[in-house]
Structure 1
């Protein structure tokens, strides 16, 4: 996790996971995903699942300097969408990967861009004590939980409820 700059337009000074938008370069990427992960990412989305996963991996590298091995499995754990009409909208997907699958030194963040500061690994219980955005707090809870075979939690802020992506 890292802290966004105080002058950032979106979530200034907040502790967040690396992330960002799907770029054109991500659209042609084919990230290895399990059939279940691919199917869950496709639910209610116009963006190809491989592109969403590729964007997550690219943003991880850009914002932290960390890179996963190409064959490292990603686990899709949570999705959140901001309400319609909000000034800044996002449709975020949160993934987990095992730190043992990093191709880079897990303690080195020197190759990161400057979008996030205070980069580092945080224990879930310690991160939960921070002033976190609500979706980040929910994603941490999902990261700590045993995977739910019933599906991935999906927060649709405009409906203020969590459903499941089966």
Structure 2
């Protein structure tokens, strides 16, 4: 799931695969002088990046399109998600934001939501929210970057990297992190801490963008949003939005 950040350039070895929509959530604790980010350590038995620290994330699920939410995504966030090519619909933009919340809850047990009687109707991958009486709340998300896996890989993702403040965590599900799970440990690390140097190169690029944004003060929707993608065999970085 968290392999959505794997966007390093690699020689073509496979037929063309259309990238799948995916989302990653970078939770930030700003209560101390140096902000901390939440990362999970992957199980040593998994094929991709065993034992490495990653941010929670994964592919958009069909339920992400139709699930009720506690509050709509901000208009500014929607505008950012709609930029860049290929063009997407408003429903798809909403699903990307909702996906980030679902994946974070599935992989870490930390849920961003609000209490609502309507939560009782949730099922499938959203059952943990129903059990907690929560509807997902994407109103506190900010888009930090977008990255598309280069051609030539069996698995390709068009990943949007979101961030949210830790104060948005409304509920914690116990038992999600254990020795047999995908993530076996959760750690809050200061941005710049040595263990983060082991992140995938693209993930480090996005983390650097998050660090830059945090150093400028409160997060804003009008900040630059880099878009990493390969064109003519070379990595390019476009700017999707922003004036800051």
TM range (shorter): 0.7 to 0.9
Matched ranges for 1:27-106 at <5 A: 27-29=65-67, 32-43=72-83, 44=85, 45-46=87-88, 48-70=92-114, 71=137, 72-104=139-171
1:61–1:112 Cα contact (<8 Å) kept: no
Partner of 2:55: 17
Partner of 2:237: 162
Structure 2 Cα separation of the partners of residues 128 and 143 of structure 1: 17
How far did residue 110 of structure 1 move?
Answer: 3.4
Unaligned runs of 5+ in 2: 1-38, 115-136, 214-218
1:29–1:50 Cα contact (<8 Å) kept: no
Structure 1 Cα separation of the partners of residues 168 and 79 of structure 2: 23
Deviates more, 1:73-82 or 1:137-146: 137-146
Instruction: Give the TM-score normalised by structure 1.
Output: 0.85
2:177–2:184 Cα contact (<8 Å) kept: no
Deviates more, 1:20-29 or 1:121-130: 121-130
Q: Which has the higher strand share?
A: 2
1:143 to 207, 210, 214: 210
- Counterpart of 1:58 in 2: which secondary structure? helix
Instruction: Give the TM-score normalised by structure 2.
Output: 0.60
Structure 1 Cα separation of the partners of residues 174 and 191 of structure 2: 20
Structure 1 Cα separation of the partners of residues 63 and 235 of structure 2: 33
- Post-superposition CA distance 1:57-112 (Å, at most 9, x none): 0001000000113445100101111101123312111111111111125xx86334
1:14–1:131 Cα contact (<8 Å) kept: yes
- Post-superposition CA distance 1:28-53 (Å, at most 9, x none): 13652221211111222546111001
Q: Residues 9 and 111 from structure 1, CA distance in 2 versus in 1: closer, same or farther, beyond 3 angstroms?
A: closer
Number of equivalences: 164
Unaligned runs of 5+ in 1: none
- Counterpart of 2:144 in 1: which secondary structure? strand
Considering only CA atoms, is the larger Rg found in Structure 1 or Structure 2? 2
How far did residue 9 of structure 1 move?
Answer: 3.6
How far did residue 7 of structure 1 move?
Answer: 3.7
Please tell me the root mean square deviation across aligned C-alpha atoms, in Å. Answer: 2.4
Structure 1 Cα separation of the partners of residues 79 and 42 of structure 2: 32
